[in-house]
């Protein structure tokens, strides 16, 4: 049986989006209610994934190593709450420096997640704060939910089946 997934954008959904880029671990601040939302989503049977554009790498603003440190911090916090993020997929590309099928709204990262983890797109959901998040989800048959940047994730997760 295929698993249902909760796909989340990172900046502005999981952590505070300062308006440009989250360029360091110090700037990575998990939004209020996010951990409660992840606990609830997991209790509803969702496998949790993060799909995020990290174009600041292509722009030279930060490195893959910086992203790894931020993601390790997120994994540690999740472990403390008993939450498992199955995988964080990110695209280091930016359109100013070339095109990539991994960068949302393109769908390659979501396709990889769906295939590798035997996920059911029809019962899965993508929550993002940009139109490109919803467009990406729609291309693979996943329902997209657009939320305001830095808004309470728990409010949306409560509405999920």
Report how far residue 156's alpha carbon sits from residue 143's, in angstroms, rounded to the nearest whole number.
13
Closest by CA to 82, choosing from 48, 53, 108, 130, is 48
Largest CA distance in the chain: 42
Is position 20 annotated as part of the catalytic site? Answer: no
Cα 87 to chain centroid distance, Å, stands at 9
Q: Select which of 9, 17, 129, 133 is catalytic.
A: 9
Report how far residue 101's alpha carbon sits from residue 145's, in angstroms, rounded to the nearest whole number.
21
Report how far residue 79's alpha carbon sits from residue 158's, in angstroms, rounded to the nearest whole number.
21
**Phi and psi based region of residue 115 (left: phi greater than 0; alpha: psi -120 to 50; beta: remaining):** alpha
Is position 17 annotated as part of the catalytic site? Answer: no
Q: Select which of 11, 17, 129, 133 is catalytic.
A: 11
* Residue positions annotated with a catalytic role: 9, 11
């Amino acid at each position: 049986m295929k698993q249902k997934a909760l796909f989340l954008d990172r900046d502005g959904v999981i952590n505070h989006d300062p308006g440009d880029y989250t360029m360091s671990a110090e700037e990575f601040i998990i939004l209020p209610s996010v951990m409660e939302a992840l606990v609830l989503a997991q209790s509803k049977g969702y496998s949790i994934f993060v799909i995020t554009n990290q174009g600041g790498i292509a722009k030279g603003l930060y490195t893959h190593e910086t992203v790894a440190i931020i993601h390790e911090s997120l994994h540690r916090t999740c472990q403390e709450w008993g939450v498992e993020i199955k995988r964080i997929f990110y695209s280091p590309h930016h359109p100013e420096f070339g095109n990539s099928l991994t960068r949302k709204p393109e769908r390659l990262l979501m396709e990889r997640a769906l295939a590798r983890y035997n996920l059911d797109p029809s019962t899965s959901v993508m929550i993002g704060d940009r139109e490109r998040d919803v467009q990406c989800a729609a291309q693979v048959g996943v329902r997209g939910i657009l939320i305001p940047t830095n808004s309470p994730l728990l409010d949306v997760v409560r509405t999920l089946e």
